Amino acid sequence: MNHPTVSRRGFLAGVGALGMTSALGACATSTSSGPAAAGAGATSKALQLKSRETSDKSRKAMQALLDEFVKLNPQYKPTLNTMEAAAFQQQIRADLALATPPDVLTWFAGEIAGNFAQQGLLLDATSAFPADGYSEQFAKLSSDASGKKIFVPTNYYWWGMFYRTSMFERWGVSEPKTWDEFIALCKTLKGKGVSPLALPLADAAWLTASWFDYLNLRVNGATFHRALLAGQESYTDARVAKVLDVWREVLPYLDPAGKGLSFQEGSAKWQQGKDAVFLCGPFLADAMPAEVKADVDFFQFPIVDPAVPVAEEAPLDGFIASAHTANPDGARAFLSYAATPAAQELYLKISENTLIPANGNAKSPFSTPLQEKGRAMVAAASDVTQFFNRDSNDDQLNALTTALVRFIDKPAEAGDILKQWQRDSEKARGN
């Protein structure tokens, strides 16, 4: 990891080498991805796929997808262009606007993809999107404001409250379901001399966003959450103040050493049972020994208000295509192929990736009880959101981390913090 700060996207791109990349997989249709699509006498057409997946295994998996695509669509001549994730993300908007852009690009769902579509930068992929295989939530996340499909999801992961089962057994505690039960768990753990909650911030202040996302979803619901992140609501709203009031209840149970710990140090401390619970994604355990992975479990973020429909965070990765592509038929044909269960399974197998295929008809090559539990939790959700900066942008994430780290230090200043957060948010949006 880079020091002293690690962005959420930059960190997860680095974790990709360990198996948690973004990537591929997601919508299936048989109308344009089979051999018959080539037609007699079809001429070759160039097709460039630009990827931010830089690990060796991910590159091989991406190339394997292209090779298999060509077997089914021999009229196309695809090439792979791989760029380091940070540079890729800085350049993507300019790439999409080029007169001769990359045809297909790796990307992710959320507000930022919707913004590209609103600017007319994304190809209408409706004809490439399968009629089945995707949940209603994933289909919605793949659409623009008018309902057109502008994104083909390929894989995802979930967030949860991770713990080690052997440690919970040693401490004589169990998974909570409600917020009151969660606070009681924290109180019990602290009474046993155990630090209840991990939150390493030295190079991963973006982790505070996971707490805000989930608390806002549990207190105010997904509709308000999306509107807030899109700038349609204010951080000075009483509903946001209520989120901080609820979070204030757990501040005494955060590891007091967390501000000085890197993500790696915090995960190691959690692994050793010195911190009991870690709100994170399953990438938390990616680099841990097999015996530790086998001991890892998670519980759903506790229900604060049972009247609020339950939403879950499930960052969703996949492909977009440029509206300026010189080969729209080829781009749609690849998107259609990438949507198939076979494509998603192939990519995840070769990349040795522990993500979950987005197409519900695809099987995870490395399925585990933990993964299936995560898959079931997301499938049961009434709504699905992305991580904070996917539903807004990186500048908004910086405003959030500034506000929430300050709140951890000085919760009594919540009112002033929310006012400054709103000003920083407006500035980040150019308002």
More confident residue, 164 or 428: 164
Q: What is the pLDDT of residue 353?
A: 82
- Note whether 8-157+315-386 and 160-313+393-428 share their fold: yes
Q: What is the pLDDT of residue 431?
A: 64
The string of pLDDT tens digits covering residues 80-121 is 999 999 899 899 999 999 999 999 999 999 888 899 999 999
Residues contacting 315, CB < 8 A, separation 6+? 108, 109, 156, 157, 281, 386, 387, 390
Residues contacting 383, CB < 8 A, separation 6+? 137, 222, 309, 310, 311, 312
Report residue 17's pLDDT band, with 50, 70 and 90 as the boundaries.
very low
CATH number of 160-313+393-428: 3.40.190.10
Q: What is the pLDDT of residue 26?
A: 28
The answer to whether the CB of 424 falls within 8 A of the CB of 399 is yes
Give the whole-angstrom CA distance, residue 300 versus residue 21: 23
CATH number of 8-157+315-386: 3.40.190.10
The pLDDT of 250-255, averaged and rounded, is 98
Domain ranges of the chain: 8-157+315-386, 160-313+393-428
Q: What is the pLDDT of residue 37?
A: 36
Written as one letter, the residue type at 408 is I
Write out the E strands in 71-112. Answer: 76-82, 104-108
The pLDDT of 364-379, averaged and rounded, is 93
Q: What is the pLDDT of residue 50?
A: 97
Give the whole-angstrom CA distance, residue 279 versus residue 217: 15
The string of pLDDT tens digits covering residues 61-81 is 999 999 999 999 999 999 999
Q: Is 8 left (phi over 0), alpha (psi -120 to 50) or beta?
A: alpha
Residue 369 preceded by cis peptide, ω within 30: no
Report residue 267's pLDDT band, with 50, 70 and 90 as the boundaries.
very high
Q: Is the pLDDT of residue 371 over 80?
A: yes
Average pLDDT along the chain: 89
Report residue 25's pLDDT band, with 50, 70 and 90 as the boundaries.
very low
* Full-model pTM: 0.88
CA angle at 220 for the pair 219 and 222, rounded to the nearest 5°:
115
Q: Which residue has the tokens 């669509």?
A: 73
Q: Do the bridges between strand 160-164 and strand 296-299 make them parallel or antiparallel, or are there none, so unpaired?
A: antiparallel
Query: Strand 104-108's sheet: what is its strand order?
Result: 76-82, 45-51, 104-108, 316-321, 152-156, 356-357
The string of pLDDT tens digits covering residues 137-195 is 999 999 999 999 999 999 999 999 999 999 999 999 999 999 999 999 999 999 999 99
Residue 387 CA, chain-centre distance (Å), reads 5
Give the whole-angstrom CA distance, residue 137 versus residue 135: 5
Q: Hey, is 383 helix, strand or coil? A: strand
